[in-house]
Amino acid sequence: MDNRFIFIFLVFAPLSLFSFGGGQAIIAEMQHQVVDVQHWMTNQEFVDLFALSRAAPGPSTLIAALIGWHVAGFLGALAGTLGIYLPSSIVMYAAIKWWHAQADSPWRRLLQRGLAPIALGLVVASAATVLQAAQANTLQLVVAVVGAGLLLYTRIGPYPLMAAAATGFGVLHFL
């Protein structure tokens, strides 16, 4: 095992442990590490890879795979992915083990009820974060609200809506 792969893992592992609330929180620090500290790529390359990771399916933290690939090919991609997911997953694993062990306790019921409004607030906040990160324009906001209305009050599912919006914005590109 080349120690380049261990090094890639070690750059992402601390970021993993600080990725509270998902990937958004650590992107700025990742950019700093990858561009300014390790000099793995230019700032523009990082921004392009970030856009790519948002366009692809899966969590946006999969940008770690792209960066690892850029530095050291396929094994680098694996090292980056393990680095960004393994440490946080070990923490989560321990927490869930404890949580499931409390299944019948009134404390867990209380926690679950008390945390519900917090989760709801965070879910709505994540919509605002996505819009801000994408620097959404007025048209996108209108489409988002109309789309939510259609999802709530008609039987139209998200796949046809996504296909329609992607096509519509794609056609606008040529006008």
Partner 1 sequence: MTSEPSAAQQHVSLTALFLAFFRIGMSSLGGSGQAWLYRELVQKQRWLDEQEYLGAMTLSQVLPGANPVNMALYVGQKFKGGFGGVVGVLGLVGPPFVIILILGVLYAEFGASTLVRDVMAGMIAIGVSMVLQLAVQLSRNIREIVPGIIAGAIFVAVGLLRWPMIPVVLALAPLSLGFEYFAAQRKPPDG
Site for partner 1 in 71-90 (CB under 8 A): 74, 77, 81, 85, 87-89
What is the spatial distance between Cα 86 and Cα 20, in angstroms, rounded to a whole number? 14
Tell me which stretch binds partner 1 (CB under 8 A): 1-9, 31-39, 99-107: 99-107
In the window 26-45, what residues touch partner 1 (CB under 8 A)? none
Q: Which two tokens stand for residue 32?
A: 């700093």
Kindly write down the DSSP assignment for every residue of 93-109, as one continuous string: HHHHHHHHHTTT-HHHH
In terms of CB distance, is 37 or 52 closer to partner 1?
52
| Site residue total, partner 1 (CB under 8 A) | 94
Closest residue by Cα to residue 4 from 45, 32, 35, 40: 40
| Min dist. Cβ of residue 135 to partner 1 (A) | 9
The rounded distance, in Å, linking the Cα atoms of 162 and 96 is: 34
Q: Output the furthest CA–CA distance in the chain (Å, rounded).
A: 61
Of 101-160, binders to partner 1 (CB under 8 A) are 103, 108, 110-132, 134, 136-137, 139-141, 143-148, 150-152, 158-159
Give the nearer residue to partner 1 in terms of CB position, either 4 or 108.
Answer: 108
